[in-house]
Chain A
C-alpha cells in the first residue's frame, strides 16, 4: 500500500466488514462474531494462522492438532448446505491452512520461510550461494556418489548424508534458538543441499537395485 493513500479507519484498527452481515470482524478471525459467516483467509503469517508460537522448534503433534481443528471448522466439505459463495470462501481458507501446514511441517521449508520473513532468504529463494566451503563439500559428495559403483557403496554414502542432514538440522535449530539468524541462514543453506543429496543417493540406490534385479 502506498503511504499517500488515505487509511481507512476500520483497517487502521484491524477491523474489516463481514461480507455477509456487514458487521465488524477483527483481522484474522475466521468467522464473523455476529452472524457466524466464514471470512476470507486474509494475510496472516503461518504461525498465527495455526495459533502456534513463532519459533523454529515446532511441536509436530501440536501442529497436527491445530491443523485438524481448523480444517474441521473451515474445510468446504463441512459447509454442505451453505451457499456456493460461503463454500468458495471456505475453500480459500482451506488452501491457506494447507499452505501454512505444509510449510511448518517440513523443517527445511520452515527455516526457509522464517529466514525469508526476516529478510535473509536462503540460497535458491532469490539469493545466491556464497559459501565456498559448502560448494566444495557439495561437489565432493556428488562426485563420490556418481563414482560409487555398488549398492553397498551407495548405501554407505546415503547413510553418511542422512547423518549429516540430521546434524545440520540440529545446527539450524540451535542457531534459531540462539537468535543468530546469519548462522541459521548458513546452516539452512547447507541443509537444503544435504536434503537434495539424500534424495539423489536414494534414487541412485534404486537405479542400482533395478539393474541388479
Chain B
C-alpha cells in the first residue's frame, strides 16, 4: 500500500465513471442545458444552433410526446394537447391553480383522494401531475445533452427560483428523478447566475441579481469574495413574471377582437402567442401591428412601446418594491451594490432596465445572455460537485419555516435568510393529562397567522407515554439541507421512547404515486439502483483502505509483524475485489479488514492516552510540529 495521506478538502478517491454532470435551467417559458469543462461552461445547442428549449409539451392522441419548439408549433393547431408554463403549478394545490385560472391555457383538476395534494392537468385525454410534465421536459434536455456530448448523462444540477417554497423544490427534484437524473444539487437561479457572472468577471464585493423569468421573480443580494459566493438576502414572488405581461397584452387583444363573448381556449392560446411576439418585437421597435388568426377569423391589433410600458408598469413596480425590501433585509442601501446582474428574457424590456437602473443608480449588467446565464452557472456547480472546484456557494432560506401553535399562530423555527444547511429545534409540550398523540402543522411564510402562510405538511406524533399535561417534552427538529429541502423530525425527550411520525405533504405527490411513476418511467430502475450501491461500496472500501494505510504509517511501531501480514493480505484481497462487480463481497471484505485492525486501533488510542497522561497532548505534539496553527 503506497498511498498518500491527503490534505483536508482534497479529493483522494479515484473518479468513478458515472457519466457527465450537466447544469439545467428548468424555466417557465424556456429551458436550457449546459456543461462545464475545466471551469468553462458552455450551453448545449440543437443541430440548428438553438440554445433554448421551449418549456412546452404536446401529448399527441397517438401517445407520442413532443417537447420544445415542435410542441410549441402545435400550440396553435391542437391547443388542447399542449401544456406550457407548467412550472407555475409545481407544488401547487387545486385551489391555488384556480386562483391562476384565467391565466392558464389548460384545464386543471383537483387531486383524487388517493393522490397527493398537487393539482392535476387534463391534457389530450390524460391526467397528469405537473411533476410528470416537467419530467418530460427534463428527459428532452437529457437527450439533447447526450446527443451533443456523445456520452450518457445521469446527473445534474437543476436550478429553481430562489423564492420557490419547499413543495415546489421537492416537486422539481421528483421530476428530475422521474427523468432518470440524479439531482446533485438544487441551486437557486440568481445564485447560479452570480456564479456564472462572478467567475467570468473575477468580481468582488456586493452584487444584486435581478431575475425576472416567465413565471417567477427573484432578487438576491450576494457578497463575492475570493471564490466564495455568500447570499446575504433573497426575496421574490413565485407567481409574478413575464408571462403576466403576455396575459395582460393578450387580454387587450381578445377584448379588441370580440368583446361580447368569452374567448375559446384556442383563441386564448393564439392571442398569448401573438402577445409574446409583440412584447419581444417592442424591445427594439417602437410600434407594430399583429394578427390574431383562428378558424378563418382574423383580427388586427396595434400596439406601441408606451402602451406596453403602461401594461407592464404595475408588475415592474412590484419587482422594484421587492428589491427595496430585500436590500433593507440585508441592511444595505442601493448605492452599496457594485453591480446588478440581469437574468431572464423579460429583463430585455427597456422599461425593466430603466427602472432597475433608477433604483440602483447604475446601468444593469447585461453582457451575459440573460436566457443562458443561469444554465451556465448550474453547469459550473455541476462540475464543482463532481470534479471539485475552488468556488463555494453559501445560500440562504428564502422563507421562514414554522409550526402552528394554539390559536393558529405561527411559531417560527427558522427565519428567512438563514444560511443553509441549518438545523434548529423547538420544544413543545402536551396540554392534556394522559395525552399520547400530538398533531403538528408545518408552514412556510412570513405572516403571523397560519391561514396566511403556506401549508407544507401535517404530521402526527404517536406513542407519547401518558403523563400529566405539560410534563412531556417534545422536541421538533427542522433541518434544511444545502438543496433548501426541509426535513422535520419529532421526539419525546423525557422517556426517549421512539415515536412514529407520519408526514403528509400538503401539496406533494403521494409516496405510492411517486414509487409507481418511478417504476413506470425506468425500465432498468433496479439495475440502476444496483450500480449506485456498487459505486458507493467501492468508494467506502477505498476510504477504509486509505484510512488504514495512513494509520499503519503513523503508528508502524504498534503493529506486530504477524498482524501486519494479516492486514496486508486482507487489504490486497479487497483491492482485487474492487476490480469486480460483487458489492456484497466488497462489503464483507471491508468488515473483515476492520475486524483485523481493531486491536491495532486500540493500541493507537492507548498510546494517545499515555501521551496525554504524560502531559503531552496530541495538541501539543501538533503545536510543536506547527508553531503557529491559527491563521
* Most central of A26, A37, A77 by chain B CB within 10 Å: A77
Measured CA separation A114–B422 after assembly (Å): 21
Contact A66 B387 (CB under 8 A): no
Contact B422 A80 (CB under 8 A): no
Contact A15 B618 (CB under 8 A): yes
Measured CA separation A127–B597 after assembly (Å): 52
Contacts of B9 in A (CB 8 A): 72-73, 78-79
Q: Tell me the smallest distance from the CB of A168 to a CB of chain B, in Å.
A: 17
Q: Which residues of A contact B (CB under 8 A)?
A: 9-10, 13-15, 17-18, 20-24, 26, 30-31, 33-38, 51, 64-66, 68-69, 71-73, 75-86, 91, 94-95, 98-99, 101-102, 202
Q: Tell me the smallest distance from the CB of A32 to a CB of chain B, in Å.
A: 8
Measured CA separation A65–B550 after assembly (Å): 31
Q: State which of B32-40, B114-122, B489-497, B600-608 sits at the interface with chain A.
A: B600-608
Known: A22-B604, A80-B385. 14 other contacts (CB 8 A): A13-B612, A14-B612, A21-B547, A22-B551, A24-B609, A36-B12, A51-B630, A68-B392, A71-B394, A81-B539, A83-B539, A83-B543, A95-B421, A102-B418
Once A13-B613, A35-B550 are accepted as A-B contacts, the answer to whether A98 and B6 lie under 8 Å apart by CB is no
Contacts of A71 in B (CB 8 A): 228, 392, 394
Write the chain A residue with the least CB distance to B604.
A23
Contacts of A34 in B (CB 8 A): 5, 547, 550-551, 554-555, 604
Contacts of A20 in B (CB 8 A): 543-544, 547
Q: What is the 8 Å Cβ interface bit string for chain B, positions 541-557, against chain A (1 contact, 0 not)?
A: 00110111011001100
Contacts of B527 in A (CB 8 A): none
Contact B604 A24 (CB under 8 A): yes
Contact A98 B618 (CB under 8 A): no
Which of the residues B423, B548, B630 comes within 8 Å of A95, measured between beta carbons? B423
* Most central of B13, B387, B481, B605 by chain A CB within 10 Å: B605
Contact B422 A76 (CB under 8 A): no
Q: Tell me the smallest distance from the CB of B324 to a CB of chain A, in Å.
A: 9
B513-546 with Cβ < 8 A to chain A = 536, 539-540, 543-544, 546
What would be 10 A-B contacts, judged by CB atoms less than 8 Å apart?
A24-B618, A34-B555, A51-B631, A66-B631, A71-B394, A75-B394, A95-B423, A98-B422, A102-B419, A202-B328
Once A15-B612, A36-B550, A85-B540 are accepted as A-B contacts, the answer to whether A80 and B386 lie under 8 Å apart by CB is yes
Contact B554 A83 (CB under 8 A): no
Which 9 A-B residue pairings sit nearest by Cβ, starting from the closest? A22-B601, A24-B608, A21-B547, A13-B612, A35-B550, A35-B547, A20-B547, A98-B419, A21-B551
- B628 part of interface (Cβ distance < 8 Å): no
Which of the residues A22, A65, A95 comes within 8 Å of B605, measured between beta carbons? A22
Write the chain B residue with the least CB distance to A68.
B228
Which of the residues A26, A73, A80 comes within 8 Å of B619, measured between beta carbons? A26
Measured CA separation A24–B603 after assembly (Å): 10
Write the chain A residue with the least CB distance to B553.
A34
Contacts of A22 in B (CB 8 A): 551, 597-598, 601, 604-605
Q: Tell me the smallest distance from the CB of B452 to a CB of chain A, in Å.
A: 15
Contacts of B622 in A (CB 8 A): 26, 33
Measured CA separation A57–B409 after assembly (Å): 36
B561-619 with Cβ < 8 A to chain A = 597-598, 601, 604-605, 607-609, 612-613, 617-619
Q: Tell me the smallest distance from the CB of B376 to a CB of chain A, in Å.
A: 18
Contacts of B328 in A (CB 8 A): 202
Contact A26 B605 (CB under 8 A): no
Q: Tell me the smallest distance from the CB of B610 to a CB of chain A, in Å.
A: 10
Measured CA separation A65–B630 after assembly (Å): 12
Contacts of A85 in B (CB 8 A): 540, 543
Contacts of A23 in B (CB 8 A): 551, 554-555, 601, 604-605, 608
Q: Which residues of B contact A (CB under 8 A)?
A: 5-9, 11-13, 15-16, 185, 225-226, 228, 230, 328, 384-388, 392-394, 418-423, 479, 481-482, 536, 539-540, 543-544, 546-548, 550-551, 554-555, 597-598, 601, 604-605, 607-609, 612-613, 617-619, 622, 630-631
Contact B601 A98 (CB under 8 A): no
Measured CA separation A102–B6 after assembly (Å): 31
Once A9-B609, A23-B604, A98-B421 are accepted as A-B contacts, the answer to whether A72 and B392 lie under 8 Å apart by CB is yes
Main SS of the interface on chain B? mixed
Once A15-B618, A76-B482, A94-B421 are accepted as A-B contacts, the answer to whether A35 and B385 lie under 8 Å apart by CB is no
Contact B618 A33 (CB under 8 A): yes
Contacts of A30 in B (CB 8 A): 8
Which of the residues A10, A35, A82 comes within 8 Å of B551, measured between beta carbons? A35
Measured CA separation A21–B547 after assembly (Å): 5
* Most central of B13, B421, B544, B551 by chain A CB within 10 Å: B421
Contacts of A72 in B (CB 8 A): 9, 228, 392
Q: Tell me the smallest distance from the CB of B343 to a CB of chain A, in Å.
A: 22
Measured CA separation A37–B394 after assembly (Å): 22
Contact B225 A101 (CB under 8 A): no
Contact B482 A17 (CB under 8 A): no
Q: Tell me the smallest distance from the CB of B127 to a CB of chain A, in Å.
A: 36
Measured CA separation A68–B6 after assembly (Å): 21
Contacts of B604 in A (CB 8 A): 22-24, 34
Contact A84 B609 (CB under 8 A): no
Q: Tell me the smallest distance from the CB of B428 to a CB of chain A, in Å.
A: 15
Contact B421 A36 (CB under 8 A): no
Contact B392 A15 (CB under 8 A): no
Which of the residues B12, B185, B482, B631 comes within 8 Å of A69, measured between beta carbons? B631
Contacts of B551 in A (CB 8 A): 21-23, 34-35
Contacts of B11 in A (CB 8 A): 79-82
Contacts of B605 in A (CB 8 A): 10, 15, 17, 22-24
Measured CA separation A98–B385 after assembly (Å): 20
Contacts of B386 in A (CB 8 A): 80-81
Contacts of B392 in A (CB 8 A): 68, 71-72, 75, 77-78
* Most central of B385, B393, B418 by chain A CB within 10 Å: B385
* Most central of A15, A18, A35, A79 by chain B CB within 10 Å: A35
Write the chain B residue with the least CB distance to A91.
B421
Contacts of B420 in A (CB 8 A): 98
Measured CA separation A22–B594 after assembly (Å): 10
Contact A77 B482 (CB under 8 A): yes
Contacts of B6 in A (CB 8 A): 36
Measured CA separation A81–B535 after assembly (Å): 11
Measured CA separation A99–B479 after assembly (Å): 12
Which of the residues A21, A66, A86 comes within 8 Å of B550, measured between beta carbons? A21
Write the chain A residue with the least CB distance to B537.
A83
Measured CA separation A13–B619 after assembly (Å): 11
Contacts of A37 in B (CB 8 A): 543, 547
